[in-house]
Amino acid sequence: MAQFPFTRGALTALTLSLALLSGCVTTGTPDGINILDPGRDFTRVWRDYPDMDQRFSRPGRPVTLAQVRGVERGQDRAALLRNLGQPAFQHEDGSLEFHLALTGGPRDRLICQYRVYFDADNRVWSSVWRRAQCAELVAGAGRA
- What integer pLDDT is reported at residue 33 of this predicted model? 83
* 144 — pLDDT class (breaks 50, 70, 90): very low
The count of domains in the chain is: 1
Residue 61 pairs with which residues in a beta bridge? 100
The reply to whether 67 falls in a domain is yes
The reply to whether 10 falls in a domain is no
C-alpha pair distances (Å), 60 with each of 2, 12, 30, 74, 79: 57, 43, 27, 25, 20
The reply to whether 11 falls in a domain is no
pLDDT digit string, tens, across residues 107-127: 778 899 999 999 999 999 999
The reply to whether 98 falls in a domain is yes
Q: How far is it, in rounded angstroms, from Cα 87 to Cα 91? A: 10
Q: How far is it, in rounded angstroms, from Cα 48 to Cα 3? A: 48
- What integer pLDDT is reported at residue 17 of this predicted model? 39
The reply to whether 53 falls in a domain is no
- What integer pLDDT is reported at residue 130 of this predicted model? 93
The domain containing residue 89 runs over which residues?
31-45+58-144
CATH number of residue 100's parent domain: 3.30.1450.10
